[in-house]
Amino acid sequence: MASETVNAPVRAVGRTLAGGAGVGALTGMCTAAVFLGGAAIEQNPPGQRLQPFLALPLYMLIGIPIGVVCGLVGALLSALLAAGLAPWWRAPMWASRLAGGLLFAVPVLLTSLLGTLLAPHVGALWPHPAITVPAMVGAAVGGFWLGPWMLGVTPARLVTRRGLIWSAATTVVVLLVPAVTVGGLPGRSPGQRVEVVAGAGTVAGGLAADTPVTGRLLGMTASADGGLRLLTAQGLEHTLWTVRDGRISHVPVPGLDEITVAQVVTGPDGGMYAALRQGPGSVVRISPDGGMVRVLGPDRATYQGPTVPVPDGTPVDGAYIGVLEGVAVSADGRIHFAESRLGESTYQVVRTVRDGRLATVLGREMNGDWRSASVRGGFPDGVPSTGLTIDSGYVTPMTITPEGMLYAAVGARGVVRVGADGAVHQVIGALTGTTGDVDRPETPWKDRGAAVGVPVSLGGDAEGANLVADTTGDIYLTNRHWIDERLPESFEWDGVAGDSRQAVVEQARKDRWMKGETEVLRVTPDGRVATVAAQADLIAVQGDWLYLAQTFQADDDTDRVLVVRTPIPR
């Protein structure tokens, strides 16, 4: 009797470690299937998830060593408690099971939490902080099953018929979890109805929708006469594509060699205006035949003067202008441009031309003073436009409404409006220090709440950026969708006619899912925000249509552009 009493703790430790390894292996398999397998499935768009789903057994094998380590450490802690309880344990079976579940769950929970703290150092070995939950649940169930055996109430039999059935049933259930949680296997719900405009084919010539648009996307504009223009780059060669009446044409733009374009807009004359970044800043007008005329800034080929920003009031003719980060043209033809100041700190000012002289309309010169209101530090709503520091080196796309209201996307973190009184008002973004509370996007065009305070991260995968205003005063911008859940399937592009076009759309969709999602936000004049579309890098508005351009890499590794449009509900 004394010998049994002495050996009971030893048996408890051995049983607990053995059980911990088994439960840990099962928990590791299940957790890896949920998180590693689930992440792999989620990287593919709906309709292309069958292959990663079939690879779930491989992910389960990866999870075994992680689970065994977790289970052994947790079981070792459990064993210390079990060793002290086993010699005196006289509780009935149900109490033994309950105690076993607790003895396993709590240490494994602590071990899993330790693993999440180590996650930045072990990388993919610990796939997700939420591994704690399934690890704890799996350990609790295992402890419930092993509790009586661990505490010496039943004979030491690890593998039983019930245990095998339980393990098999749990594995099957967990295998089904990723399929349900990430959106199913082959099928998907109806998405947003779109029409292909250009770029969904493989053979040049014919309809615009069936003609491939090649190159990196730099800009897209729409004009009142029904034309749609795209600016792309392939190596050092730039190309202007024009879509009109369902047909597409393209011409080279030789003057843009080795030059980066910050933003492209349409002027009141229907011309395409581009803000150039390298060297002395300048704004050029690109004609439909690919010709380029400088309309603002020094002659880049002949300028030999000082490269120092000139103050307000300087005559614009021949004046040096720094690197440009954005451009907008008002209805009366007046050009506004965002000009970078490069030095110890990078900041920007938005200027225009009044009576032939330069004038600042937004932002201020730093002159070593960092204590003023700023984009990074925050500012009160209504601050004077020339008292705000735009401490940013990002592209600053701008737009001007038909009424002459200037909007600028500053710091890639939000959009501000310069009022008629010269005051700055936040339109969207957490720029003034307040954070908004809006609904998650559910369906296209559904109102989500007040736009002020909603965090945004402006941009897409195009090299340029844009901000668009329509004739009603609504503004549109592309935002990187960083919410922990993907956009609902109601935002998937749907309704594409033709197998060949659908194949290109599928290529673009898969490429987008690998890079990360973008959403198109609309802000109305009364300050309401809605997610109106998704997967666009650049946007344009023409009448009652919203145009969405997506850059993607085709299966042959060439850069391509796909353009679709969707109706704007009025």
Give residue-wise pLDDT tens across range 460-471.
555 667 899 998
Supply the pLDDT for residue 280.
76
Q: For tokens 């369906």, what's the residue?
A: 443
436 within 8 A of 430, measured Cβ to Cβ: yes
Supply the pLDDT for residue 185.
39
Q: Which residues contact 42 (CB under 8 A, 6 or more apart)?
A: 182, 183, 486, 513
Supply the pLDDT for residue 156.
42
Supply the pLDDT for residue 126.
40
Angle, CA of 299, 304 and 305, to the nearest 5°: 100
The SS3 assignment for 197 reads: strand
Dihedral sign for Cα atoms in the order 500, 502, 508, 514: negative
Supply the pLDDT for residue 545.
95
Query: What is the model's pTM?
Result: 0.71
Q: Which residues contact 57 (CB under 8 A, 6 or more apart)?
A: none
Supply the pLDDT for residue 7.
54
Supply the pLDDT for residue 115.
47
Q: For tokens 């310069």, what's the residue?
A: 418
Where the chain has pLDDT below 70, the residues are 1-53, 55-56, 59-60, 62-64, 66-97, 100-189, 258, 279, 343, 367-371, 432-436, 460-464, 481-485
Supply the pLDDT for residue 372.
74
Supply the pLDDT for residue 73.
61
Supply the pLDDT for residue 117.
45
Q: How far is CA 340 from CA 180, 370, 412, 456, 458, in A?
A: 49, 17, 14, 22, 18
Supply the pLDDT for residue 544.
92
Supply the pLDDT for residue 35.
59
